[in-house]
Amino acid sequence: MKLAQSLLFIASASVLSGCIVVASPSYANYHDQQTLVIDAQTLTALTVEAGSGSLEISGSDDVSEITVLADIYTEKGNSENYQLTLTESGNSASLIAKINSTIGFWLGDSPHIDIKVTMPSKMMLNVDDGSGETKIENIQGAVEITDGSGELSVSGIKGDLTIKDGSGGLYVNNVTGNVSIDDGSGELVLSEVGGNVDIDDGSGSIVAKHIAGGAYIEDGSGDLTVRNVDGVITIDDGSGDIDVEQAGGLKIIDSGSGGLRVEKVKGNFEIDS
């Protein structure tokens, strides 16, 4: 019996020891800073592909170059594990800034690249960003943004603005053209738009105000507040309160569930359901 118990104990200990795996943590303990510059006098557009890390892009009337300041954080034993290039093709420039692989257990921040870009404000801009806080300002051309996760702030755009956003707060201010937003989740605040607005939102509160054109808003869930829209507002809402004040007209296709407050509508006011 004692022999059987001993054999059972040894077998159990072997099984248990085989299930215990202790992963050694990795550290993003290597930092490098690089500056990239390209002459932009003949260029009309910039495309940015960024992975994880913060991203700041500022347009300026006083520069004729695209300047990129990159702070790279990665593992000391694998310090070349990233892509950072600024190239020119035809009348466009392309910036790629991303870590090649972040597989593993990271103690503290995982590898990432923080980017600051200064560019001529007259250029068009196309951004595909993975994760991290993003800020874009003072661009006179059309701007297209695809953003995975993290807070996104856009301001001072003198052209049309198109955004496809995954998750995180989204803040848009001072756009002279039309605005189109496809937003997954997170708070959305939009103000001072010179054109029309089209919003398709999954979840999270929406505040839209001071819009010179009309506004079409399809909202999944979350409170919706709209103020000072010169054109007609069209709303298709899933759930959450709707609060509209000062509009050129209002059509509610579906009010969903939640409270409804409407004041100071100059034109037609229609509720289909």
Query: Which structure tokens are listed for 255?
Result: 């009010």
Q: Please give the pLDDT value at position 273.
A: 61
Identify the CA nearest to 242 among candidates 197, 211, 273.
273
Residue type, 259: G
At residue 23, the pLDDT reads 57
Name all contacts of 80-83 with Cβ < 8 Å and 24+ positions apart: 81/111, 82/111, 82/113
Amino acid at 238: G
Residue 242 CB neighbour total at 10 angstroms: 22
Per-residue model confidence as pLDDT tens digits over 42-74: 999 999 999 999 999 999 999 999 999 999 998
pLDDT at residue 109 in the model: 78
Provide the pLDDT for residue 102: 63
Task: Provide the pLDDT for residue 16.
Answer: 44
CA angle 226, 228, 230 (to 5 degrees): 115
pLDDT at 81: 86
CA angle 269, 163, 146 (to 5 degrees): 155
Q: Tens of pLDDT along 194-249?
A: 999 999 999 999 999 999 999 999 999 999 999 999 999 999 999 999 999 999 99
